[in-house]
Amino acid sequence: MDADITQSTVGGTVQAPPSKSYTHRAILAAGYAGGATVRDPLVSADTKATMRAVEAYGGRVDRHDDRLDVTGFDGRPEVPDDVIDCANSGTTMRLVTATAALGDGLTVLTGDDSLRSRPQGPLLDAIDQLDGRAESTRGNGQAPLVVGGPVDGGRVSIPGDVSSQYITALLMAGAITDGGIEIALETELKSAPYVDITLEVLEGFGIDAESTTEGFVVAGGQSYDPDGGEYTVPGDFSSISYLLAMGALAAPDGLAVTGAYPSAQGDAAIVDVLQRMGADLTWDREAGEIDVTRSDLTGVEVSVADTPDLLPTIAVLGAVADGTTRIVDCEHVRYKETDRVAAMAESLTAMGASVEEEHDTLTIHGSDSDLDGTTVDGRADHRIVMSLSVAGLVADGTTTVEGIEHVDVSFPGFFDELEALGAAVER
HSE (CB half, 13 Å, CA atoms) of 357?
A: 17
Question: Is 94 one of the annotated binding-site residues?
Answer: no
Question: Is 265 one of the annotated binding-site residues?
Answer: no
pLDDT tens for the chain, residues 1 to 427: 999 999 999 999 999 999 999 999 999 999 999 999 999 999 999 999 999 999 999 999 999 999 999 999 999 999 999 999 999 999 999 999 999 999 999 999 999 999 999 999 999 999 999 999 999 999 999 999 999 999 999 999 999 998 999 999 999 999 999 999 999 999 999 889 999 999 999 999 999 999 999 999 999 999 999 999 999 999 999 999 999 999 999 999 999 999 999 999 999 999 999 999 999 999 999 999 999 999 999 999 999 999 999 999 999 999 999 999 999 999 999 988 899 999 999 999 999 999 999 999 999 999 999 999 999 999 999 999 999 999 999 999 999 999 999 999 899 999 999 999 999 999 9
Domains defined along the chain, listed by start: 2-17+235-426 (3.65.10.10), 20-232 (3.65.10.10)
DSSP-derived secondary structure for 159-208: -SSS-THHHHHHHHHHTTSSS-EEEEESSPPSSHHHHHHHHHHHHHTT--
d(CA 191, CA 267): 10
Active site residue 208: no
Question: Is 165 one of the annotated binding-site residues?
Answer: yes
Which strands make up the sheet holding 324-328, listed edge to edge? 301-303, 324-328, 361-365, 354-357
- Secondary structure (3-state) at 128: helix
Question: Is 276 one of the annotated binding-site residues?
Answer: no
Which of 57, 88, 83 lies closest to 70, judged by CA?
57
Residue 190 is predicted with a pLDDT of 86
Question: Is 336 one of the annotated binding-site residues?
Answer: yes
Residue 191 is predicted with a pLDDT of 87
Beta partners for residue 213, in sequence order: none
| Phi, psi (rounded to 5 degrees) for 161 | -105, 10
Question: Is 25 one of the annotated binding-site residues?
Answer: yes
Summary count for the chain: helices (H), strands (E)? 12, 24
Question: Is 21 one of the annotated binding-site residues?
Answer: yes
> Residues 298, 321: contact at Cβ < 8 Å?
yes
Q: Single out the catalytic residue among 85, 267, 309, 381.
A: 309
DSSP-derived secondary structure for 382-401: HHHHHHHHHHHHHSBSEEEE
